């Protein structure tokens, strides 16, 4: 699964692809399921590393909001946020100084939930997995994935025309 191909679609495009036997398929379903947090691994709801003070020397993530806070640094291909957590991390970053573009920032301008605390376990998670096990993926898609109104119309039209053709 490829969530965002920055080279092809830029940073703002939320298009994901699934590759099967070397062929690319567009797929919004996985993104919808991922964003509802029902399909996260159980450990993700209790991750001990979700805080500003990480045990690693550096923390790397996406600098969401760069277009608002530091628009001159926005290239529409994504900017990495690098947090220095130790002297060793500072030394590692200094070794790259000539190879990267960088600015100092106020970390408070870039804080998002995944950086400071684990996602809450959705109250629907147990039901979701039980339904998946008992009723299958198609049931999950039709009950947990909200399609755009255009896709709903197309799906109903296709269902109607298919039924009419074979009645």
Rounded Cα distance between 153 and 127, Å, is: 28
Question: Radius of gyration over alpha carbons of the chain, in Å?
Answer: 21
pTM for this entry:
0.61
How many alpha carbons fall within 13 Å on the CB side of residue 95?
A: 6
Give 98-138 pLDDT, tens digit per residue. Answer: 888 888 888 888 888 778 888 999 999 999 999 999 999 88
Q: Which residues pair with 2 in a beta bridge?
A: 17
Rounded Cα distance between 131 and 125, Å, is: 10
Nearest Cα residue to 31 out of 148, 150, 155, 157: 148
Q: What is the pLDDT of residue 37?
A: 92
Give 48-71 pLDDT, tens digit per residue. Answer: 888 777 888 998 888 888 888 888
**Six-digit token string for 147:** 């399609």
* Pairing status of strand 23-26 against strand 17-20: antiparallel
Is residue 86 pLDDT above 80, yes or no?
yes
């Amino acid at each position: 699964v490829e969530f965002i191909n920055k080279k092809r679609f830029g940073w703002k495009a939320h298009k994901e692809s699934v590759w099967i036997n070397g062929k690319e398929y567009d797929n919004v379903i996985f993104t919808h399921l991922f964003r509802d947090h029902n399909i996260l691994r159980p450990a993700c709801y209790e991750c001990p590393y979700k805080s500003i003070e990480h045990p690693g020397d550096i923390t790397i993530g996406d600098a969401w909001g760069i277009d608002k806070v530091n628009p001159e640094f926005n290239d529409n291909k994504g900017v990495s946020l690098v947090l220095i957590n130790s002297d060793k991390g500072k030394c590692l970053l200094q070794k790259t100084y000539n190879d990267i573009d960088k600015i100092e920032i106020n970390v408070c301008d870039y804080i998002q939930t995944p950086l400071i605390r684990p996602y809450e376990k959705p109250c629907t998670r147990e039901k979701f997995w039980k339904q998946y096990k008992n009723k299958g993926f198609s049931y999950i898609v039709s009950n947990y994935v909200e399609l755009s109104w255009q896709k709903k119309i197309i799906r109903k039209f296709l269902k109607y025309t298919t039924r009419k053709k074979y009645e």
